[in-house]
Amino acid sequence: MQAWRPTVTHAALGTINHRVPDPFERLFLQEYPKVVAIAYRVLADRTAAEDVAQEVFLKFHRSHSPDSERASGWLHAAAVHSALNVIRGDRRRAQRETAHALDPARPAIANPERVVEDAEQRREVRRALRRLPERTAAVLILRHSGLSYAEVATALGIKVGNVGTLLRRAEEAMRKEVHRATPE
């Protein structure tokens, strides 16, 4: 799976800060790419990731101030939780995978067995994530979405020094879940 990357650059963010007077709009322009990327990391579906991002920003706008120090952390954590809720919907996920496999716009792959193996591996990772405690899954998703330890700590409301330990434990729990589900 090729990761989707946001297109907003640091230079563009500097311009946004100077030209956009509305605090919520500025927060949206700065954080939207990262929120979508986090959701995409979980869902592997850009449209669904953008839907999650919109939902997260709507919830945030209704109940929080865009000037809050914890705004980006709240948005990142909410993206993880909302995306995890989406993958818990087995029927919708199965429909997306079927549509993706049957998409005539996809280039032909030389090795169909590899395609099936890759799809099964992605499904197993999502199943394992679903079985993990939400905080454990969240730390994995946030860190593997490119967030720094400081950003992960803010999103989860923990000390930066605890992120490494939680991440190591989460990776071990994930390995056990995948191994437990893998037939011998």
Sketch out the chain's domains with CATH numbers: 10-181 (1.20.140.160)
Q: What is the pLDDT of residue 6?
A: 53
Structure token pair of residue 67: 């000037």
Residues in contact with 169: Cβ distance below 8 Å, sequence separation at least 6, in sequence order: 136
Q: Is the pLDDT of residue 40 over 70?
A: yes
Q: Helices marked H in the chain — which ranges?
A: 10-19, 23-43, 46-63, 71-87, 90-102, 112-131, 134-144, 149-156, 160-181
Q: What is the pLDDT of residue 87?
A: 79
Q: What is the 8-class DSSP label of residue 44?
A: S
Q: What is the pLDDT of residue 150?
A: 92
Please provide the distance, in angstroms rounded to a whole number, between the alpha carbons at the two ends of the chain: 26
Q: Please tell me which residue, 9 or 178, carries the higher pLDDT value.
A: 178
Structure token pair of residue 34: 């990262």
pLDDT tens for residues 101-154? 666 666 655 678 888 888 888 888 888 888 899 999 999 999 988 899 999 999
Q: What is the pLDDT of residue 123?
A: 84
Q: Is the pLDDT of residue 164 over 70?
A: yes
Q: Please tell me which residue, 153 or 99, carries the higher pLDDT value.
A: 153
Q: Is the pLDDT of residue 19 over 90?
A: no
Q: Is the pLDDT of residue 163 over 70?
A: yes
Q: Please tell me which residue, 14 or 161, carries the higher pLDDT value.
A: 161
Q: What is the pLDDT of residue 34?
A: 95
Structure token pair of residue 16: 């946004």
pLDDT tens for residues 48-91? 999 999 999 999 999 988 888 889 999 999 999 999 888 777 55
| 183: confidence class by pLDDT, cuts 50, 70, 90 | low
Torsion 62-63-64-70 (CA) sign: negative
Q: What is the pLDDT of residue 128?
A: 87
